[in-house]
Amino acid sequence: SQKIEQNSEALNIQEGKTATLTCNYTNYSPAYLQWYRQDPGRGPVFLLLIRENEKEKRKERLKVTFDTTLKQSLFHFTASQPADSATYLCALDMGGNAGNMLTFGGGTRLMVKP
């Protein structure tokens, strides 16, 4: 079965710096890879989706890359702010043949210090 690895240790960075989070997976590449933000005690919130044939996708201060050779997605948050502090989850969607079900990673906690 698919295994997803996200750094379980918190990432601490200074305000204004770029945060880079990683999502590694084993086995087959997903049709889509999704990123979610989760604040303490709250449900995850969808941020961005990238398809297997897309190398990079941007949304405001966020850039996500997807490398099917390395089996890795990188999540870059530029000009980080304390309000960006949260846990970020990646999720793999294996596509329609698998019912578009999501498999989630354990998440990485990002702490942005002022």
Partner 1 sequence: DADVTQTPRNRITKTGKRIMLECSQTKGHDRMYWYRQDPGLGLRLIYYSFDVKDINKGEISDGYSVSRQAQAKFSLSLESAIPNQTALYFCATSDPGAGGTYEQYFGPGTRLTVT
CA–CA distance, 38 with 88 (Å, rounded to integer): 6
| Stated length of the chain | 114
Q: How far is the CB of 110 from partner 1 (least distance, A)?
A: 16
Site string for partner 1, 53-72 (x = CB under 8 A): --------------------
CA–CA distance, 91 with 2 (Å, rounded to integer): 11
Work out the widest C-alpha separation in the chain, in whole angstroms. 45
Q: How far is the CB of 16 from partner 1 (least distance, A)?
A: 30
Q: Which residues of the chain form contacts with partner 1 (CB under 8 A)?
A: 4, 8, 32, 34, 41-46, 49, 51, 89, 91, 93, 96, 99-102, 104-107
